[in-house]
Amino acid sequence: MYDKILIPTDGSEVANNAVEHAIDLAEKYDAEVHALFVADTDMVAYSLGTEQVDRIRQGKFGEMTELADDAKEATGFVRERAEAAGLDFVERHAGGQPHDVIADYARNNDIDLIVMGSHGRSGVRRALLGSVTERTLRSTHVPVFVVDYVEGR
């Protein structure tokens, strides 16, 4: 049923909890796990120059140490869980509007299921879902499994 599972992650607690659900599903279906970190270029465009925003869109975070560290940490968490479960793993860092990048990635990589948290690092809680999650649901025809749990909440 699921051959490829995409986990968009920002490294937040909710995203990391979604990873646990995704790995469990991937083990059951022997699915390949794809971890995707998307730097929101709209959020950083005002403080960075055009050249840096273009680099982010291309997934080239090298000179932006903090952003590169966030990306590596977020997808590294997924990698550790996938490898521990003996699953095939694909990692991607990209930049753009997160919901568009997620939908495009799912379409271009024949993803069967997207597993993501209900909201991310912003700390701003929407009434139902975070804006990236809500927009992802509207932007793709791939099933989306939304996880909404943070321990201690």
The tally of domains found in the chain comes to 1
H/E element holding 117?
strand 113-117
Residue 111 within a domain: yes
DSSP string, 36-104: EEEEEHHHHTTTS-HHHHHHHHTT--TT-HHHHHHHHHHHHHHHHHHHHTT--EEEEEEEE-HHHHHHH
111 alpha carbon, distance to own chain's centre:
13
Residue 19 within a domain: yes
Residue 152 within a domain: no
- pLDDT of 103: 97
Residue 123 within a domain: yes
Q: Provide the CATH number for the domain around residue 114.
A: 3.40.50.620
- pLDDT of 125: 44
pTM here is: 0.83
Residue 130 within a domain: yes
Report in angstroms the alpha-carbon separations of 64 from 13, 71, 111, 152.
23, 11, 29, 33
Residue 113 is part of which domain span? Answer: 4-147
Per-residue model confidence as pLDDT tens for the chain (153 residues): 899 999 999 998 889 999 999 999 999 999 999 999 998 776 655 555 555 555 555 555 555 567 778 889 999 999 999 999 999 999 999 988 899 999 999 999 999 999 999 865 544 444 444 588 889 999 999 999 999 865 555
